[in-house]
């Protein structure tokens, strides 16, 4: 199968840290695509708790036995990264209607300007409350966040 006929998706995020919610979305997206690239975005305006290197290693370790998953770091626009990887799709997890409203506008722009389709996967209710922000807040305050991350 040539690269152009493969279905390649990018799952972008800061993954600071990767959560059980992220893992659930990735696992549920796997049957839809030949390859999923977990793309760790570098955002200079964000103050990350875990280094890019640590986040990348953690994700690579987590999915080391799955050849359909690749891990990469990138800067700039997600759609530009998608094109550089030959990806036709962006996967996004939606926890609630606020996530949908935010993601819908970006998805429409990515489609119109770059021809990249977005695939939304609704969060499993079991993980719908988990966000990296919540995990970071718990970690910063010395709490036990082990039930929220892989």
Q: Which residues are catalytic?
A: 22, 46, 95, 132
DSSP one-letter string for 120-138: EEEPPTTTTT--HHHHHHH
Question: Residue 11, Cβ neighbours under 10 Å: how many?
Answer: 25
Answer whether 8's CB lies under 8 Å from 88's CB.
yes
The CA angle 106-112-118, to the nearest 5 degrees, is 50
Answer whether 19's CB lies under 8 Å from 135's CB.
yes
- Please give the structure tokens belonging to residue 91: 């996967």
């Amino acid at each position: 199968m040539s690269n152009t006929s493969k279905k390649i998706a990018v799952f972008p995020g800061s993954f600071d840290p990767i959560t059980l919610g992220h893992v659930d979305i990735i696992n549920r997206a796997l049957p839809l695509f030949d390859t999923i690239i977990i793309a760790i975005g570098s955002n200079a305006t964000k103050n990350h708790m875990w280094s890019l290197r640590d986040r990348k290693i953690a994700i690579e370790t987590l999915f080391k036995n799955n050849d359909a998953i690749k891990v990469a770091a990138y800067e700039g626009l997600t759609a530009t990264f998608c094109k550089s990887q030959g990806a036709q799709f962006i996967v996004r997890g939606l926890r609630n209607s606020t996530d949908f409203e935010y993601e819908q506008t970006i998805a429409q722009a990515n489609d119109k300007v770059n021809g990249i389709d977005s695939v939304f996967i609704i969060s499993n209710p079991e993980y719908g409350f988990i966000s990296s922000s919540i995990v970071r807040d718990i970690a910063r305050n010395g709490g036990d966040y082990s039930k929220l991350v892989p």
